[in-house]
Structure 1
Amino acid sequence: MLTNNATTCSDSFIEREIKDSYNVPGPKPQHHLSRSEVKEYFKTRFTTLFPTKTVLKENYKKYPSNPFPALACMNCQHVQFFIVGLLAWTWDALDFFAVSLNMAEIAEDLDKPIKDITHAITLVLLLRVVGAVIFGYIGDRFGRKVPYCISMALIVVIQIATGFVKTFPAFLGCRAVFGIVMGSIFGVASATSLENAPDEAKSILSGIFQEGYALGYLLGVVFKRAIVDNSSHGWRSFFWFSAGPPVLFIVWRMLLPESKAFTDRKVLATATELTDDQKVSISKPSDRFWSNARAAVAQHWITLLYLVLLMAMFNFSSHGSQDLFPTMLSKQYNYSEDASTVTNSVANIGALVGGIVVAHASTFIGRRCAIFLCCLGGGALLYPWGFVSNPRGLNPAVFFLQFFVQGAWGVVPIHLTELSPVEFRAFVTGVAYQLGNMISSASSTIEATIGERFPIDGKEGVYDYGKVMCIFMGCVFAGLLVTTVLGPENKGGEVVVDGRILDARGSLERHNDDIEDLDRRQSLDSRSAFKPNFEYVARVNATSNHASV
């Protein structure tokens, strides 16, 4: 069920709910919805896209217009958890963009065309899902600290090794391993940063966290200009430098305790003992985890598939607008290193501002509405972004285009969190994000290949990347708009199995904050007017102790 009640749950509540729901009529699973229910759902996609005046008034009363005072609700540990997660995600992005920012230099050094170097980007995106699955399981099973430290340590080793490669196959091999490790970071980092934060600050923190991606790109631009262009080792020096800071991140994370939200769920798991006839026939914790995972997939599989499709469209938007942009500036427009650095910096400043502003705006207007408006704004800026070569015209265009692209992205962490089953948050957010990455992995290769069909007269080996990126992004904005409009929203809530367990869970947590819990429950009706309330549970065969559909 998608519920507005922001509560916590134990790592075994799914199996408890399944056991308690034997022979009890419950809401239908997603794939058992009738034709009339499906029709009603799609009808409400348009009627609930924009908030009503009543909802807007309530949101303006409930949430501050200025988002930053909400950060005062965070204590020192909240701040440290957020920063350490943000740093991992930021450096993850910097390491990824190490190839696209140095593509021309790498191609020349390894004696390969630019199109071949883009295969390294594709390879990273394809393999990220492997890391997301492995480390997502570790993160939800054993906690956030262990996978965080392992991922950062592996990044250090791989980046150093990449700087020493002499052949193109060796380069691809290093990037393949990097792709697996990179896939492990988003889910664990986002859970570390956001799951412990106060509800009042989560929207603005979501925007800031997601813009760690843009910040990583911006830092990459700056460090390339400062290091690569002034080092005799060229692009290799960038990789060696990028291996240093993660060591500090590991030390900081080791000094922090395990995620409080994770440990609270572990404590809650043992707070209520099952009677002998209620115990689930699973003895090993790992077996219990995968049994719960199967139940969650059986119950929420349509939503999970939707998240993958949504993340594919989002990743097309970011890679389609960023991966070949530095190449366009240097090859097609002949920008100097300084001019290219300025334009790329302007783009990423726009991305940083957009992510924070739009994420906070989504608190008032809703997640889908915010993404919808960003698609319209980004589409309107495609022509000046793709066809204006003068910096005075291009810089404002690229600022606002990235404002809308990354502004929509700023909603993603909190939107994914709200639509993901709480017991598998690191796993679901990481895997959905990386599967979307895998689907969009060929973005730069597609653009580079199509670009070769649009050579610029009089310039051998130079192609009209601006035109290709403009066409590509037009299709992406249209696809993202449709996907968002037709999708679900669970603003301010969490995904649980059945509402019948809310009272029990609420009573267990009410000693922590009675007023906050009561406030969340009293606001349920008004927030339900903003979006449909989905309820679906797996039917249970009482003789098998397994969820069936």
Structure 2
Amino acid sequence: MSPNEPAEPIATGVFAVAKQSFGDLFKWKQRVLITNEYGEERTEWQAPEPLPNPFSLFAQLSLRDWVFFIVGWCAWTADAFDFHALSIQTTKLADYYGQSKTNITTAITLTLLLRSVGAAFFGLAGDKFGRKWPMVFNMIVLGVLQIATIYSSTFQQFLAVRSLFGLFMGGVYGNAVAMALENCPVNARGIMSGIMQSGYSAGYVFAACANLGVGGETDTWKIVFWIAAGLSIGVGLVRILFPESKQFREAKAARKAAGDKGGHTTSAFWQETKNMLAKEWKMCLYCILLMTWFNYYSHTSQDSYTTFMLTQKEMENAGASRASILMKVGACAGGTTIGYVSQWFGRRRAIIVSALLSATLIPAWILPEGESALSATGFFIQFFIQGAWGVIPIHLNELSPPAFRSSFPGITYQLGNMISSPSAQIVNAIAEKTFVTLDNGDRVSAYGPVMGVATAIIALGIAVTTAFGPEKRGRKFEQARAAGVVVEPAKDIEEGFYEEKPATERIEKVENKS
């Protein structure tokens, strides 16, 4: 018998779930579904454990866990460096190709549009074949495409290469997050999720540092892209040196011990994928909506921020780069801190509070003048923007069907990216047609007001969507089997053992018996 108080069953149906989720937001204890060894389910209220010392959480990870986490983090960071190598150099690229800044951001739109295709392909490959080789292939091809960008002599070639870049970039997130977090101890997931998500901000910081180091000359954008190519290819080569994830190694060993030499079949995998989508389509749509808001949140507030400082604030490249670096240092700190706190405070509450606090900081973010003031306010608003983001990797993993923790987070994340893909282009297009007059009399593009209004709307949208959505904090998925593999009881109950077989093989045996 559990010492915890019984709770009403988890609701079914969109409106019932929304009503229950909103009500649970104001209860300190969490409604948790418990399944015993006989498959019987009950729902109870569980109080969150007090936050332990973060260093004690780090100590719970084994050396193997740390290796997988660090490689996943490096892949995500290199992916972010690749992306931001373009976004922070929009002005240089506009001068190089003789295009407007809005036209250059078309490349960002195309990249984000095609990321969802890559997420679907490589995410499903990661769930079927393992995390290792899809990631290796992804990272090496990304490096090659960065080099191809450097040698794009025309604007049309540039756009074509960046489209291909988006296709392969989309496959990184799901595999990297699954590999980094799937073996973390339950009570360490919050802080590790925050650190994992901060890799995106770290990639921005490294790209901004590279941009600062090469100077403001037009052609220097190529040097940053060379660095990005080296990082991506390097991570891919390092990943070759480490084994497949524990989940797939154990599933393979179990199949071999049971005499299944062929592994789980392709038909079984796709059948389980189809069944998952039929059962979880509402969760899929919810996560896509949530990730659409979140991707608008980050891209609206950061992709044009360097351009905002160069254009509206009339800063030099060096000052704008330094302010961008400090802004994203705040993002790294916020992602780690809020992710850690979410383990105790709750995933949804952490997201909502962070989003609302970021909205209150918008005036302080866009109104100040000078590098020091903009650096400080940028630091604090990104602390909360990326603080909300820091909860997302583990929140998506906990909402995912356990056997699809590579494809589900990656696909929903990148579909949200696809829908929000015009965000930077929209900001630039509106800002370049709207003007403000500075104290010195200059009329400049109104990047600050445009970003401020958009970010306020998005932050409120995130708060509302999260408040009415589900939460499965503390969900146990460490023992989840690979998709396409089921546990089949032995034929003779006296044998007293179970073996793993592909779902299609089990179905065929039942049909033959009939």
Alignment match, 2:448: 466
Structure 1 residue 288: Cα displacement = 0.9
Question: Compared with structure 1, are the counterparts of its residues 252 and 51 closer, same or farther at alpha carbon in structure 2 (3 Å cutoff)?
Answer: farther
Q: Give the Cα separation in 1 of the matches to 2:30 and 2:178.
A: 32
AA of the residue aligned to 1:471:
V
Task: Please state whether the residue corresponding to 1:234 is helix, strand or coil.
Answer: helix
Alignment match, 1:367: 347
Q: Give the Cα separation in 2 of the matches to 1:40 and 1:444.
A: 36
Is the counterpart of residue 60 in structure 1 residue 49 in structure 2?
A: yes
Structure 1 residue 283: Cα displacement = 11
Alignment match, 2:297: 317
Alignment match, 2:35: none
Question: Compared with structure 1, are the counterparts of its residues 405 and 445 closer, same or farther at alpha carbon in structure 2 (3 Å cutoff)?
Answer: same
Alignment match, 2:136: 149
Structure 1 residue 243: Cα displacement = 1.1
Task: Please state whether the residue corresponding to 1:441 is helix, strand or coil.
Answer: coil
Alignment match, 1:111: 98
Q: Give the Cα separation in 1 of the matches to 2:279 and 2:259.
A: 25
Alignment match, 1:133: 120
Structure 1 residue 268: Cα displacement = 4.9
The answer to which of 333-342 and 38-47 deviates more is 38-47
Is the counterpart of residue 252 in structure 1 residue 238 in structure 2?
A: yes
Q: Give the Cα separation in 2 of the matches to 1:131 and 1:367.
A: 28
The answer to which of 395-404 and 89-98 deviates more is 395-404
For the 8 Å contact 1:100–1:324, the answer to whether it is kept is yes
Alignment match, 1:402: 382
Task: Please state whether the residue corresponding to 1:372 is helix, strand or coil.
Answer: helix
Structure 1 residue 183: Cα displacement = 0.2
Matches within 5 A, 1:347-496: 347-457=327-437, 459=442, 462-493=444-475
Is the counterpart of residue 48 in structure 1 residue 24 in structure 2?
A: yes
Structure 1 residue 478: Cα displacement = 1.1
Q: Give the Cα separation in 2 of the matches to 1:303 and 1:268.
A: 31
Structure 1 residue 189: Cα displacement = 0.7
Is the counterpart of residue 333 in structure 1 residue 313 in structure 2?
A: yes
Question: Compared with structure 1, are the counterparts of its residues 181 and 241 closer, same or farther at alpha carbon in structure 2 (3 Å cutoff)?
Answer: same
Question: Compared with structure 1, are the counterparts of its residues 38 and 446 closer, same or farther at alpha carbon in structure 2 (3 Å cutoff)?
Answer: closer
Alignment match, 2:184: 197
Q: Give the Cα separation in 1 of the matches to 2:357 and 2:266.
A: 46
Question: Compared with structure 1, are the counterparts of its residues 53 and 41 closer, same or farther at alpha carbon in structure 2 (3 Å cutoff)?
Answer: closer
Question: Compared with structure 1, are the counterparts of its residues 171 and 60 closer, same or farther at alpha carbon in structure 2 (3 Å cutoff)?
Answer: same
The answer to which of 164-173 and 246-255 deviates more is 246-255
Structure 1 residue 286: Cα displacement = 1.2
1:6-25 CA-to-partner distances (Å, cap 9, x unmatched) read xxxxxxxxxxxxxxxxxxxx
Matches within 5 A, 1:176-215: 176-215=163-202
Question: Compared with structure 1, are the counterparts of its residues 40 and 162 closer, same or farther at alpha carbon in structure 2 (3 Å cutoff)?
Answer: closer
AA of the residue aligned to 1:492:
G
Question: Compared with structure 1, are the counterparts of its residues 292 and 54 closer, same or farther at alpha carbon in structure 2 (3 Å cutoff)?
Answer: closer
Q: Give the Cα separation in 2 of the matches to 1:214 and 1:283.
A: 39
Structure 1 residue 251: Cα displacement = 2.8
Task: Please state whether the residue corresponding to 1:335 is helix, strand or coil.
Answer: coil
AA of the residue aligned to 2:21:
R
For the 8 Å contact 1:420–1:495, the answer to whether it is kept is no
Is the counterpart of residue 166 in structure 1 residue 166 in structure 2?
A: no
AA of the residue aligned to 2:19:
K
Structure 1 residue 59: Cα displacement = 2.5
Q: Normalising by the residue count of structure 2, what TM-score does the alignment of the two structures yield?
A: 0.84
Structure 1 residue 341: Cα displacement = 2.1
Task: Please state whether the residue corresponding to 1:60 is helix, strand or coil.
Answer: coil
RMSD: 2.8
Question: Compared with structure 1, are the counterparts of its residues 394 and 284 closer, same or farther at alpha carbon in structure 2 (3 Å cutoff)?
Answer: closer
Structure 1 residue 408: Cα displacement = 0.5
Matches within 5 A, 1:287-302: 287-302=267-282
Question: Compared with structure 1, are the counterparts of its residues 103 and 54 closer, same or farther at alpha carbon in structure 2 (3 Å cutoff)?
Answer: closer
AA of the residue aligned to 2:471:
E
For the 8 Å contact 1:73–1:200, the answer to whether it is kept is no
AA of the residue aligned to 2:49:
Y
AA of the residue aligned to 2:412:
A
For the 8 Å contact 1:419–1:495, the answer to whether it is kept is no
Q: Give the Cα separation in 2 of the matches to 1:205 and 1:38.
A: 31
**What is the aligned counterpart of 1:241 among 202, 216, 227?**
227
Structure 1 residue 494: Cα displacement = 5.0
For the 8 Å contact 2:215–2:318, the answer to whether it is kept is no
Give structure 2 stretches of 5+ with no counterpart. Answer: 1-8, 32-44, 481-485, 490-506
Q: Give the Cα separation in 2 of the matches to 1:251 and 1:284.
A: 28
Question: Compared with structure 1, are the counterparts of its residues 38 and 168 closer, same or farther at alpha carbon in structure 2 (3 Å cutoff)?
Answer: closer
Task: Please state whether the residue corresponding to 1:493 is helix, strand or coil.
Answer: coil
Question: Compared with structure 1, are the counterparts of its residues 493 and 401 closer, same or farther at alpha carbon in structure 2 (3 Å cutoff)?
Answer: same
Alignment match, 1:79: 66
Structure 1 residue 126: Cα displacement = 0.2
Task: Please state whether the residue corresponding to 1:307 is helix, strand or coil.
Answer: helix
Q: Give the Cα separation in 2 of the matches to 1:72 and 1:350.
A: 25
Task: Please state whether the residue corresponding to 1:456 is helix, strand or coil.
Answer: strand
Question: Compared with structure 1, are the counterparts of its residues 228 and 290 closer, same or farther at alpha carbon in structure 2 (3 Å cutoff)?
Answer: farther
For the 8 Å contact 1:125–1:438, the answer to whether it is kept is yes
Q: Normalising by the residue count of structure 1, what TM-score does the alignment of the two structures yield?
A: 0.79
Q: Give the Cα separation in 1 of the matches to 2:422 and 2:383.
A: 24
Question: Compared with structure 1, are the counterparts of its residues 261 and 328 closer, same or farther at alpha carbon in structure 2 (3 Å cutoff)?
Answer: same
Question: Compared with structure 1, are the counterparts of its residues 392 and 250 closer, same or farther at alpha carbon in structure 2 (3 Å cutoff)?
Answer: closer
Q: Give the Cα separation in 2 of the matches to 1:238 and 1:289.
A: 41
For the 8 Å contact 2:252–2:263, the answer to whether it is kept is no
Question: Compared with structure 1, are the counterparts of its residues 58 and 268 closer, same or farther at alpha carbon in structure 2 (3 Å cutoff)?
Answer: farther
- What is the count of residue pairs matched by the alignment? 461
Q: Give the Cα separation in 1 of the matches to 2:407 and 2:14.
A: 28
Question: Compared with structure 1, are the counterparts of its residues 227 and 118 closer, same or farther at alpha carbon in structure 2 (3 Å cutoff)?
Answer: same
For the 8 Å contact 2:339–2:387, the answer to whether it is kept is yes
Is the counterpart of residue 218 in structure 1 residue 205 in structure 2?
A: yes
Q: Give the Cα separation in 2 of the matches to 1:39 and 1:249.
A: 45
Structure 1 residue 167: Cα displacement = 0.7
